[in-house]
């Protein structure tokens, strides 16, 4: 069972209007915490926070964490999720991605230091790059192209980890690093370019499912509910990490396409495109550290996760009339956090 933070505490969640962040904010409020979400809404959406509207325990602070910001204390937890996470987003916002990984992380760490709060950061499986080790263990240092187009995300997260570790060693901040693997589920923006929402949108539209390269590259998909349970467990512990949070059911991208088409009741038609530059060939976590240190493992089977995602998709995108983000499209694939 996941042991999380205590009722009555105050948690600050940067990037809390995003896909994973909004689910985490909801769970924290459900568990009796006061939550301040800090988000500039560059990739997050207020629609993700509708369930918390009017709740006195929840506050949305619209701010860019790359600039200094303050929160009324006391603060017991700082969870740093702010960052573009999908390839389309971080390739479109390269400098912003690097800033939020550097200045944004330091501003969040300073807040935790000032308040004596537990600091948990969402790193990513992308720090392993195109891995030479399989499955990926936390001890593996990775294989990243430091100047390739994906490096703006990969290296931002690697710097995030280095800075977090330095604040822990030098200033004694109570830190935890989570390396999130491919998460999916409700609230993914349909237009964000990652594989699950892309395939769902294409399958439901009767379009071919577009696959980069051969489709033999692998991913391990973790339902967002399980990802959030892992973050809660890390928040409620004193474990510094890094710790992999992800599912171990490795599948090829072609198998993911087949699964989504099948659950959507669509004929499987595929269209192959040029491979993306520096796209990892295999991706699957070793989660023994999470099992031992946090008592965590994923629980939602892929079929159930896809079913729940499709249900949300149908209710959310049935009427594409609002273009301010409330009913705006979304996706998920190579990005992890």
DSSP H helical segments within 19-150, as ranges?
19-30, 87-92, 94-99, 105-115
CA distance 120 to 142: 21
Structure tokens at 279: 């796209």
Token match 């200045």: residue? Answer: 103
Query: Counting beta carbons within 10 angstroms of the beta carbon of residue 250, is it exposed (0 to 12), middle (13 to 18) or buried (19 or more)?
Result: middle
Residue 319: CB atoms within 10 A of its CB come to 8
CA distance 287 to 301: 16
Three-state DSSP state, 305:
helix
| Phi and psi torsions of 79, nearest 5° | -115, 115
Is there a catalytic annotation at residue 153? yes
Active-site residue, selected from the candidate residues 153, 167, 184, 317: 153
Token match 């807040």: residue? Answer: 111
CA distance 211 to 276: 10
CB 81 within 8 A of CB 21: yes
CA distance 284 to 188: 21
- For β-strands 250-252 and 218-220, DSSP reports them as antiparallel
Instruction: Please give the DSSP secondary-structure letter assigned to residue 330.
Output: B
* DSSP conformation letters of 310-328: HHHHHHHSSSTT-TTTTS-
Catalytic residues: 153
């Amino acid at each position: 069972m996941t042991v999380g933070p205590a009722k009555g505490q105050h948690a600050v969640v940067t990037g809390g209007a995003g896909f994973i962040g909004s689910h985490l904010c909801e769970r924290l409020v459900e568990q009796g915490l006061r939550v301040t979400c800090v988000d500039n809404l560059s990739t997050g959406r207020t629609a993700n926070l509708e369930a918390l509207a009017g709740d006195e325990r929840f506050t949305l602070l619209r701010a860019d964490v790359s600039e200094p910001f303050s929160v009324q204390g006391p603060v017991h937890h700082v969870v740093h999720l702010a960052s573009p996470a999908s390839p389309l987003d971080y390739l479109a916002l390269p400098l912003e991605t690097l800033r939020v990984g550097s200045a944004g992380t330091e501003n969040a760490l300073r807040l935790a230091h000032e308040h004596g709060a537990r600091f948990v950061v969402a790193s990513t499986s992308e720090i392993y790059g195109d891995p030479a080790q399989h499955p990926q263990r936390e001890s593996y240092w990775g294989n990243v192209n430091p100047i390739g187009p994906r490096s703006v995300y990969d290296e931002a997260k690697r710097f995030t980890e280095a800075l977090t570790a330095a604040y822990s060693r030098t200033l004694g901040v109570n830190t935890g690093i989570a390396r999130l693997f491919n998460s999916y589920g409700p609230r993914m923006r349909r237009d964000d370019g990652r594989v699950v929402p892309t395939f769902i949108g294409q399958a439901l539209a009767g379009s071919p499912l577009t696959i980069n390269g051969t489709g033999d590259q692998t991913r391990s998909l973790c339902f967002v509910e399980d990802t959030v349970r892992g973050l809660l467990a890390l928040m409620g512990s004193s474990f510094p990490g890094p710790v992999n949070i992800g599912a171990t059911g490795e599948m090829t991208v072609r198998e993911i396409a087949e699964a989504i088409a099948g659950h959507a009741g669509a004929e499987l038609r595929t269209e192959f495109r040029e491979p993306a530059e520096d796209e990892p060939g295999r991706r699957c976590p070793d989660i023994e550290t999470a099992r031992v240190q946090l008592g965590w493992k994923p629980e939602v089977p892929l079929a159930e996760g896809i079913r729940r995602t499709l249900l949300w998709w149908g209710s959310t995108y049935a009427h594409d009339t609002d273009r301010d983000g409330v009913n705006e499209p979304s996706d998920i694939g190579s990005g992890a956090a």
